[in-house]
Amino acid sequence: MTTPFLQAEKLERRVGDTQILAGIDLSVNKGEVVGLIGPSGSGKSSLLRAIAGLDPLTGGRVLVEGRTPTPGDGTIGMVFQQFNLWPHLTAGENVALALRLVRKMPRAEATERARAMLDRVGLLKLADRRPAQLSGGQQQRVAIARTLAMEPRLILFDEPTASLDPELTTEVLDVIRGLAETGMTMLVVSHEMGFVASVASRAAFLDHGRVLVDGPAKAVFRDAEEPRLRRFLSTYLQRVAWAPDPEPVPAADPGPLATFALLQQPAAPEGSTMSLLGLPPAAPPGGFSLLDSMGDPAAPKSPKADG
């Protein structure tokens, strides 16, 4: 049995009377992409921040390849919801700064590498723009390039698309999806369930500072036996399923359980919530799925959920 790449043991964080992390165990193997889902305040972001070493723990420990990482030692890179680009520097300078100051690269070499990184996220042409002159999606891609440039062993994504509109979300998720294909080990906190279901190899559902469900991503979404997870997913599905309906009066609400009946159907009909989640067996060739439409601008804009 090999030791996991990342091992978080009994992570606890308490601030005053609030238990933010209540004994979280999580181990991640090299190359795994783990999606962290759960309601707001469940501890997803806190878990990432604890793993990154940004917030002090009141118990437990984090090991990456057997040793405790410290912020800035090059082990862990992080991408934030608010991008956190430095506004006075251009996109290229944002990527190059740490290469020059930390890696001690000569300016020309750092600039060259920064351009290569920006090219990787499709932003080479915008290297001389400042963050304020970029869209949110572009800013987040610069932030990803900035993180990639330092070649971290593990990348933590803290709701990378939560402040982006659906189109900008797509361009950022495509970049993350591409990274997953290169075998990068990643932890992704996201409310994009379809994305987590299709990209993550594993999903963990958190609530009140605990991991309630942890398993292969598709199983976590499809089986969803844990009652809290069912409730969480059903509200999400209802929102997604009826969101594209242009009519002011939505289709009759079948209730959470009916939604789950759909979710659990092994081969759901085209346009169902099942395919909305983008789970492969449910998406017939040519059929609509949330993920397909995200990748293809020509996909139908207003599919009706036939629940």
Partner 1 sequence: MSVVSETLWAVARGLPLTVGIWLASVATGLLVGVLVACARHFGGWVVNAALATLVEVVRGVPFVVQAFLLYYGGPFIGLDLTPVVAGWLALSVYAAAYFSEVFRAGFRAIPAGHTEAARLLGLKTNQTITRILLPEMALSVLPALANLAVILIKETAILSIITVPELTFTVSGVGSATFAFAQTMAALALSYWLLVELTAWAARRLERGIARATLGTA
Which region, judged by CB under 8 A, interacts with partner 1, from 34-42, 84-92, 204-212, 229-237?
84-92
Q: Which is nearer to partner 1, 132 or 252 (CB)?
A: 132
By the rule CB under 8 A, 102 interacts with partner 1: yes
Residue 116 makes contact with partner 1 by CB under 8 A: no
Is there binding between residue 106 and partner 1 (CB under 8 A)? no
Rounded CA separation 110/99 (Å):
6
Name the segment binding partner 1 (CB under 8 A); options: 30-38, 66-74, 226-234, 279-287. 66-74
Does 162 bind partner 1 (CB under 8 A)? Our answer is no
Number of residues that bind partner 1 (CB under 8 A): 29
87 counts as binding partner 1 under rule CB under 8 A: yes
Q: Give the one residue of 132, 249, 252, 298 binding partner 1; rule: CB under 8 A.
A: 132
- Does position 261 interact with partner 1 (CB under 8 A)? The reply is no
| In the complex, least distance from residue 93 CB atom to partner 1, rounded to whole angstroms | 10
Which one of the spans 87-95, 117-125, 183-191, 246-254 is the region binding partner 1 (CB under 8 A)? Answer: 87-95
| Residue 300 binding partner 1, by CB under 8 A | no
> For residues 103 and 78, what is the distance between their CA atoms, to the nearest angstrom?
18
Q: Looking at beta carbons only, is 54 or 299 nearer to partner 1?
A: 54
124 interacts with partner 1 by CB under 8 A: no
**Contact characters 24-63, partner 1, x per CB under 8 A:** ----------------------------x-x---------
The binder of partner 1 chosen from 59, 86, 107, 215 (CB under 8 A): 86
Residue by residue, DSSP assigns the chain as -PPPSEEEEEEEEEETTEEEEEEEEEEE-TT-EEEEE--TTSSHHHHHHHHHTSS--SEEEEEETTB---TTSSSEEEE-TT----TTS-HHHHHHHHHHHTS---HHHHHHHHHHHHHHTT-GGGTT--GGGS-HHHHHHHHHHHHHHT--SEEEEESTTTTS-HHHHHHHHHHHHHHHHTT-EEEEE-S-HHHHHHH-SEEEEEETTEEEEEEEHHHHHHH--SHHHHHHHHHHHHHHHHTT--SSSPPP--HHHHHHHHHH-SSPPTTSHHHHHT-GGGS-TT---HHHHHH-TTS-SSPPP--
> Does residue 74 touch partner 1 according to CB under 8 A?
yes
- Minimum distance from CB of 225 to partner 1 (Å)? 37
84 in contact with partner 1 (CB under 8 A): yes
Cα–Cα distance for residue pair 177/37, rounded to 1 Å? 17
Neighbours of 101 (CB within 10 A): 10
Residues whose CB falls within 8 Å of the CB of residue 27, separated by 6 or more in sequence, listed in order: 4, 6, 7, 8
Identified binder of partner 1 from the candidate list 146, 202, 218, 222, rule CB under 8 A: 146
Q: How far is the CB of 89 from partner 1 (least distance, A)?
A: 8
User: Which positions lie near partner 1, rule CB under 8 A?
Assistant: 52, 54, 71-74, 76-78, 80, 82, 84-88, 90, 97-98, 101-102, 129-130, 132-133, 143, 146-147, 150
